[in-house]
Amino acid sequence: MRVINQRVKSSQVQVNGEIIGKIGCGLNLLVGIANTDESELDWMARKCLELRLFPDSANDGGRWDKSVEDIGGELLVLTSTPTIKVRGFLTKRHRKGAYSEWGWHRD
């Protein structure tokens, strides 16, 4: 499993001109999941919610002390199973089920 996160002021996803997902301040999460990742799902979800990626407005130094939960932010989660392969993260344990599950062909 891999998650690429991006801190955003606002974000939206459009398909054929129609907005299918929209958030205000929060995180975009590009998630690549293989069928062998079930045991990691809860841990990764908690990790994304607890990442301290937002500044503490009371702190003039601009330290990033707040999580998305702390600020009442939102999540826009986009599944991208090819992320595991494209980013070079397709490990041996992922290869076993990934190709057939996602319809990929080995070259």
Number of H-type helices and E-type strands within the chain: 3, 7
User: How do residues 11-64 score in pLDDT, each as one tens digit?
Assistant: 999 989 999 999 999 999 988 887 777 888 888 989 999 999 988 776 656 778
pLDDT band (50, 70, 90) for residue 4: confident
User: Of residues 86 and 41, which shows the higher confidence score?
Assistant: 41
User: How do residues 19-33 score in pLDDT, each as one tens digit?
Assistant: 999 999 999 998 888
Q: Which helix (H) or strand (E) holds 78?
A: strand 74-79
Tell me, what amino acid is at 105?
H
